[in-house]
Amino acid sequence: MLEILVFMNSAVEEILNFKTCCGPMVFDQNLEIHLTNTSDRPIVVPSRFDLIGDSGPRRIDYLTPNGDQKILPGETIAFYCQMDEDRWNAARRLVFYDREGREYPLDLKASKTEGRRNGNN
């Protein structure tokens, strides 16, 4: 199972630019997503998710860091991206996938104010 914590309009852009002061700058990163592996086995998650709203699913595949991320039991990783606020507010569900084909859906409408959101499975 993945425990998912989402921060919309986080200060991640300022934090990443501070950490990479002499390297490439990161712009417009307003969505921060933490995935915690609460299972007893590693989970490999590609750097993408589906955002599902009334107009159907939209694949968000421009997450940082890019590529497959291996999450060990008890470990937390973070993804960052730029998200249009209107698209985010209209979304009903967010779904991450692992490399074994399991889905980790989140009901966004039921938990918009909770902060912590748990992926099922």
Q: Are strands 43-45 and 69-71 parallel, antiparallel or unpaired?
A: antiparallel
Helix, strand, or coil (residue 66): coil
Nearest to 43 by CA among 82, 7, 3: 3
> Dihedrals φ, ψ of 109, to 5°?
-65, -35
pTM: 0.78
Looking up residue 90, the CATH number of its domain turns out to be: 2.60.40
pLDDT at 18: 44
Domain hosting 23: range is 2-118
The tally of domains found in the chain comes to 1
pLDDT at 106: 87
Task: Per-residue pLDDT tens, the chain, 121 aa: give them.
Answer: 999 989 887 655 444 444 445 554 455 678 999 999 999 999 999 999 999 998 899 999 999 999 999 999 999 999 999 998 899 999 999 999 999 999 999 888 765 544 444 454 4
Instruction: Tell me how far apart the alpha carbons of residues 52 and 54 are, in angstroms, rounded to a whole number.
Output: 7
